[in-house]
Structure 1
Amino acid sequence: MKWYADRPARFTRQLIADLLAAGWVALWIWVASTAHDWVLELRAPGDGLVNAGGDIRDVFTNAASKAKGVPFVGDDLSGALGNGTKAGETLIGAGNTQIGVVQDTAFWLAVAVVTIPVLFLLITWLPLRLRYARKAGDIAKLRDKPDLLALRALTSLSPKELSKFSGDPAVGWRTGDTDVIDDLARRQLLALGVRA
């Protein structure tokens, strides 16, 4: 396969198209990263719940451990304060759930934002580049076979290109006119930007 043309004008167009394709991918990666970061800012309430739940749990745990030392009612009081510890654990669980949802949303949003434009690029740009690379590579292998290139030129060049010949190029090819064959072969190579 031959990825780039030998002719400077076509090479420049191909290089610009490839750079634009790379820029397109980079742009959408940046957009996805920015969207990911913005969505992650929504986890602040979940972080607040986790911190508040941890503080409540710690306060009630300390109070329950100190309440055990109160004569006669220490165990009952410690058990009642233990329920506050459970409330703190519940807040921590709710905060972690919210954080998980926000992180999952941020991740999948970023994946979607990158995937859709890149798939569009791969569906439109990549087949054109692969087709050119395959054709140009195959044609380049035929450089030393001008008769085949001339035949290919007769079937693939536009009528406008073929009308530029002074005579009938098909007759010249059939009769083995080397000037016509070489000219047809050269034009076929140039049509794909391959050096003759």
Structure 2
Amino acid sequence: MQLYAERPIRRTAQLVSDLLALLLVVFAVWLATSVYDQVLKLRAPGDGLVNAGTGLRGTFDGAANSAGGIPLVGDALANALHGGSNVGTQLADAGRWQIEAVESLAWWMAAIIVVLPVLTLVVTWLPLRWHFARQATAAARLRALGDEGLDLLALRALTTQPLRRLASGDDVATGWRERDRDVIEELAGRELARHGLDRVSAGPAAARPSGR
């Protein structure tokens, strides 16, 4: 798989773009973690309510249990004290609800901070890199075939190069039909350059002499 161009300028640009994409993801994760931790600090009042409600309920329950042993008025007093225990329960429940709301908010904010840049990379940077890798890999395989591959690359260049560029030189179409090696190599070189590849393959197949 040809992940990077062979030409220095384009390869450098690809490396820089990949590094920026990686840094963006790392920064998004760091920012999401920081935001998550900061938002979780908002649960402190909820923790206080839970602690206060739990303590209040325990106090009233203890007092109600003690009052239950008092002759004559013990039951009535215990029931009254249990009413205070219910208030403590409601206070603790309100604190738990606040804690759950803060935790949910922290999670969603962190998720959005990570998902947005990653989704942006998926719909912009990733398709471009995947398209280049596929096209460059196919072009490199044709180049490795030697003369046969160069013929196909030259034909591809005839169909993809701008008309103005084709018209700027000699009659390249005639040269390609007549199997002019200089014309074929020039066209193949243009197609390879379009995919960021060098004109001459380092493999032995490229050095094979033409049988024509």
* Unpaired runs of at least 5, structure 1: none
AA aligned opposite 2:157: A
Instruction: Report the Cα distance in structure 1 between the residues aligned to 2:20 and 2:165, rounded to whole angstroms.
Output: 31
Counterparts of residues 55-74 of structure 1 (less than 5 Å): 55-74=55-74
State yes or no: 1:192 paired with 2:199.
no
Distance 1:62 1:176 in 2: 102
Q: SS of the residue aligned with 2:124?
A: helix
Cα deviation, residue 102, structure 1: 0.8
Alpha-carbon RMSD: 1.7
Q: Secondary structure at 1:150's aligned position in 2?
A: helix
- Matched with 1:30 is 30
In 2, Cα distance between equivalents of 1:188 and 1:151: 9
Give 1:69 deviation, angstroms: 2.1
Q: Secondary structure at the match of 1:42?
A: helix
Does residue 79 (structure 1) correspond to residue 82 (structure 2)? The answer is no
Aligned to 2:119: 119
Which letter maps to 2:161?
A: L
2:155 is matched by which residue type in structure 1?
Answer: L
CA offset at residue 158 of structure 1?
3.6
1:160 CA displacement: 6.0
Residue 185 of structure 2: aligned partner: 182
TM-score w.r.t. the length of structure 2 is 0.85
Listed as ranges, the gaps of 5+ residues in structure 2 are 201-212
Is 1:92 aligned with 2:108?
no
What SS is found at the alignment partner of 1:72? coil
Between the two proteins, what is the percent identity of the paired residues?
49
Calculate the TM-score normalised by the size of structure 1: 0.92
1:5: which partner in 2? Answer: 5
Greater RCO (CA < 8 Å, at least 6 residues apart): 1
1:118-157 per-residue CA deviation (whole Å, 9 max, x = no partner) reads 2122211111111111111111121121111011112223
The 2-side partners of 1:160 and 1:110 are apart by 52
CA distance in 2, matches of 1:76, 1:91: 24
Deviation of the 1:4 alpha carbon: 1.0
Aligned to 2:153: 149
Other-structure match for 1:42: 42
In structure 2, what is the Cα distance between the partners aligned to 1:160 and 1:137? 27
1:43 Cα deviation after fit: 1.0
Q: Number of paired residues? A: 195
| Counterpart-to-counterpart distance in 2, 1:83 and 1:101 | 27
Name the structure 1 match of 2:105.
105
Distance in 2 (alpha carbons) for counterparts of 1:18 and 1:194: 19
